[in-house]
Structure 1
């Protein structure tokens, strides 16, 4: 019985250690998002936590690793937005919306597109910063095209907002790192 008690005690201790490690990993995502949100009122903290936490690696990385996850998510969303615009253009939509979508596609695809992952891994944060800022400006230009009042192109509202939020996350993490 003493042996059984020792084995179950050992199992309980291991379980607590694992729980603590997972909790600590979750804390880096939440702590980072809280820190960013405290300095940047435009950041949606829930979006930040959900986005960074969606990558299984986020529970195993440090702050620099979270930045890399943010870069990967940003690039995927940026490319996904371009593909989404192309799909929308194939649908029968009103001419003004098609015109806005065409403008947004031109904006999103204009200029040089770089794979930011190698730049980030090489700690060339200044270059990453430039490209992320350009991506952010393209999102803003697309949003402004939505209406004469500076609204958004309705089918792109979420995609544009995601690109913008991920840009904030990446830029702010690089400022901390």
Structure 2
């Protein structure tokens, strides 16, 4: 029985990531499985619980990226990079929502959707590949990509719910 429940739990991560990947070509399947599966609780939750794990990971990464940008701004960097990082900090800070986890737990998915979409837009505003001004922010490439993936995961799980 224990082996069966562990197998089922592993399957929910795989199944959910498969379902999301089938409907959203921008999802990195391996990132999804690795991220959601990294939380020990993912082996004991249902889809709603898996969504909460995604929200927690998104929130942590988003806040961590803001702190990372603040640290970068303390370094002596070239003025164009400092300007771009400063802009990204403004954009990220304006999208930060402290009670995202509480909103999700209260099943206020519409509000969560609004804030996650803002977070996704913040990532896009600081993505060097989609920057209209051509300002490149290489130190944010990985954190931006991770946030984008977490946003996809959270939004798509809420769509399934």
| Candidates 124, 132, 136, aligned match of 2:120 | 136
Moved more, 144-153 or 35-44: 144-153
Q: Is the 8 A contact 1:100 1:145 kept in 2?
A: no
**Helix, strand or coil for the counterpart of 2:127?**
helix
Aligned position for 2:94: 110
Aligned position for 1:35: 19
Q: Is the 8 A contact 2:17 2:32 kept in 1?
A: yes
Structure 2: distance between partners of 1:117 and 1:22? 26
- Report deviation, 1:147: 5.6
Segments ≥4 residues shifted beyond 4 Å: 144-152
Aligned position for 1:73: 57
- Report deviation, 1:91: 1.4
Aligned position for 1:174: 158
Aligned position for 1:8: none
TM-score, length-scaled by structure 2? 0.93
TM-score, length-scaled by structure 1? 0.85
**Helix, strand or coil for the counterpart of 1:143?**
coil
Structure 1: distance between partners of 2:37 and 2:129? 32
Deviations 1:103-160 (A, max 9, x none): 1001111256241111111111001000100110111111158865757510000001
**Which stretches in structure 1 are left out of the alignment for 5+ residues?**
1-16
Higher Cα radius of gyration: 1
**Which stretches in structure 2 are left out of the alignment for 5+ residues?**
none
